[in-house]
Amino acid sequence: MPDKPKVAFYWCASCGGCEEAVVDLADGILDVAAAVDIVFWPVALDFKRADVEAMADGSIDVTFLNGAIRTSEQEEMAHLLRRKSKTLVAFGACAQLGGVPGLANLFDREGILQEVYGDSRPGDDLPVLFNDVRALDQVVETDYYVPGCPPAPAIVLKAVQTLLNCARPPKGAILASDRALCDECARKATKPEKLTVAEFHRPHQVIIDEEKCLLAQGLVCMGSATRGGCGAVCIQGNMPCSGCCGPVGTVRDQGAKVLSALASIIESKEDMEIEHALASIPDPAGTFYRYSLPASLLRHKTRERILQ
Amino acid sequence: MLSGKTIQKAESRPAFEPRIIAFFCNWCTYLAADLAGTSRLKYAPNVRVIRLMCSGRVDPQFVLRAFAEGADGVLIGGCHPGDCHYQEGNYKTLRRFVLLRRTLKQMGIEEDRFRLEWISAAEGDRVRAVVNDMVEKVRALGPLRLNAAVEEEEAVHA
C-alpha cells in the first residue's frame, strides 16, 4: 500500500471554531482520517514544534492553517509550515481575510495593550504582538483558501476531496462556490423587484418574518456580495448573512461592495433623512469588514506600497 | 508634477502638495470643469480628474483604491439633485457617500479628505472654488499616512 498523504492542521490567531469545524465533519471525519496520515495537529495530537522542525522540507503534503497572523510566534510557525509543506491552505475566514481578529487593525498596538492590560503589561519573554493583524497570504505564499467562519462541513469535505484528487484547481483558488449567497438563498423568490428600505434594523429590534427576504425586512444581510456554498445556514436560523465566506470572485473589496449595495436601497432623497436612515448602522466598518479588514483595499494595498 | 529642477532644489523634504483624485460626471461637473478651462479660470493644479458617465458609477472600491494608491483626497462631482441625466444616479451617490465617509473616518481618513459636490455644467467658477477650498483643507491636514504604525514597525524590522 502506498504511503498515505501527510496532513497537518495548525491554528494561529483564532477562536478554535475552525478546529471544531473539522470535528463537525462527524462521520465524514473517519473517511478523512482513514485517507490521510495526520502528522501535526496541536489541538488533538501530541506533536510539538520540534517534531515539525525535524521533518524534511516539503515532506507534509497539505497543511491546513487557520487563524490570522498577529504575533511573532504565529509568523514563525507560518514560515516553518510553509517550508515543510508542499501545499499550504488558508482555512477559514481569519487565515483567508484576517477575520474577526483583523478588526484590531482599527486600533494600534499601544491602545489595545493599554485597554486590556492597563499598566501591568505581560513580560518581554512572550512573543511580540504586531501592530497589524494579517491574513496568511500577507505573510507567506498560500496555495488555496477554504472560506467560512468556520467553514461549513460541506465546504470542508469537498475541499479535502479536491486536494486529495490528482487534478487540482489552479493555485490561488478558493475551494467553494463562486456564486453570491443571495443566488442560492431559499428566500430569493420573496426579494422584491425594486428593493428599498426606510432604514435598517438590528435583529433584536424587530420580529423577523421567517419566510421573507431579510434585506427587504430592513436587516443588514450581506448575501449580495458574499460567496455562497455555506448552505445559507444563518438564513435558515432567521439571522442575516454577516459575510463570513468573503467576497465573490468578481468583487475585490467585500466591505465596499456591501456598503454600496445597502446604502443605495435607502428610500429617501433628502440629505438629512439619508443621514438619519443610515445612522441605523452604528458601526459600518465593523459591520461591512467584520471578516475582511486586513484583506481590504485600504489596508492591503497601502501595506504593499509601504513594503515596496 | 514636480519638474527635475524642483526636485533638485527641494533637497530632502519637498513642500507637501496634496494629490486629489476627482471623479466628475460626464453631463454636469466635467462640463463645468471644461467651462472653467475655456473661461481661463485658474485653480490649484492638484486634481487628477477622471470622467465617468455618472457620479452613480463611482463604486466605493474606486474611492478606496485611490486612497490606497496614495491619494490625499477624493472629490466626487455630480449633477444637482433632480438633474441627473439618468434620473436617480446622484441620489445613489449621495447615500453611498454618507455611509462611506463615516466608514472611512473609522478607518482613519478625515472627513475633509472625501467630498461630494453638486456642480452643474454652467458652474465653472464653482469648480474653481471647490477645488481650491479642498486643496487648502487637505494641505492643512497633511499627507495621508494610513498605515503609519505599520510603516514604523517595518522601519524597525528593516
Q: How far is CA B116 from the centre of its chain?
A: 9
pLDDT digits 0-9 by tens, B82-139:
999 999 999 999 999 999 999 999 999 999 999 999 999 999 999 999 999 999 999 9
| pLDDT at site A63 | 97
Residue A131 — very low, low, confident or very high, per pLDDT cuts 50/70/90?
A: confident
Contact between residue A240 and residue A214 where contact means Cβ atoms under 8 Å apart = yes
Cβ contacts from A onto B, under 8 A: 102
pLDDT digits 0-9 by tens, B28-82:
999 999 999 999 999 999 999 999 999 999 999 999 999 999 999 999 999 999 9
Residue B3 — very low, low, confident or very high, per pLDDT cuts 50/70/90?
A: very low
Torsion, Cα B81 B89 A243 A305, to 10 degrees, reads -90
The mean pLDDT of B145-150, rounded to a whole number, is 74
User: What is the C-alpha to C-alpha distance for residues A154 and A231, in angstroms, rounded to an integer?
Assistant: 8
pLDDT digits 0-9 by tens, A137-193:
999 999 999 999 999 988 998 898 898 887 889 999 999 999 999 999 999 999 999
Q: Which residue of A has its CA nearest to B104?
A: A285
Regarding predicted confidence, which is higher, B152 or A133?
Answer: A133
Q: Which residues of chain A have a CB within 8 Å of the CB of B79?
A: none
- As a whole-number percent, the residues of chain A with pLDDT over 70 amount to 97
The mean pLDDT of A28-45, rounded to a whole number, is 86
pLDDT digits 0-9 by tens, A75-116:
999 999 999 999 999 999 999 999 999 999 998 888 999 999
Contact between residue A11 and residue A40 where contact means Cβ atoms under 8 Å apart = no
The DSSP line for B68-132 is HTT-SEEEEEEPPTT--TTSSHHHHHHHHHHHHHHHHHHTT--GGGEEEEE--TT-HHHHHHHHH
- Out of B64, B67, B147, closest to residue A306 by CB: B147
Q: What cell was used for A15?
A: 477562536
Residue B13 — very low, low, confident or very high, per pLDDT cuts 50/70/90?
A: low
Query: Angle CA(B64)–CA(B98)–CA(A213) in degrees, nearest 5?
Result: 95
Distance from CA of A72 to the nearest CA of B (A): 12
The DSSP line for chain A is -PPPPEEEEEESB--SHHHHHHHTTTHHHHHHHHHSEEEE-TTTS---HHHHHHSPTT-EEEEEEESBEEEHHHHHHHHHHHHHEEEEEEESHHHHH-TGGGGGGGS-HHHHHHHHHTT-PPPTTSPPEEEEEE-GGGTS---EEE-SSSPPHHHHHHHHHHHHSSSPPPTT-BSS--SBHHHH-TTGGGS-SS--BSS-B-GGGSPPPSSS-TTTTTB---TTTBB--S--HHHHTT-----TT-B-TT-S-HHHHHHHHHHHTB---SHHHHHHHHTTSS-HHHHHTTTTTTTSHHHHHHHHHHH-
- A303 close to B (CB below 8 A): yes
ipTM field = 0.92
Maximum mean pLDDT: which of A35-44, B41-50, B141-150 = B41-50
CB atoms within 10 A of CB A204: 6
Mutation for testing the A interface, residue in B57, B59, B61, B146 having most A CBs under 10 Å: B61
| pLDDT at site A308 | 60
Q: Which residue of B has its CA nearest to A196?
A: B92
| pLDDT at site A139 | 93
Q: Is the pLDDT of residue B10 over 50?
A: no
Pairing of strands A85-91, A6-11: unpaired
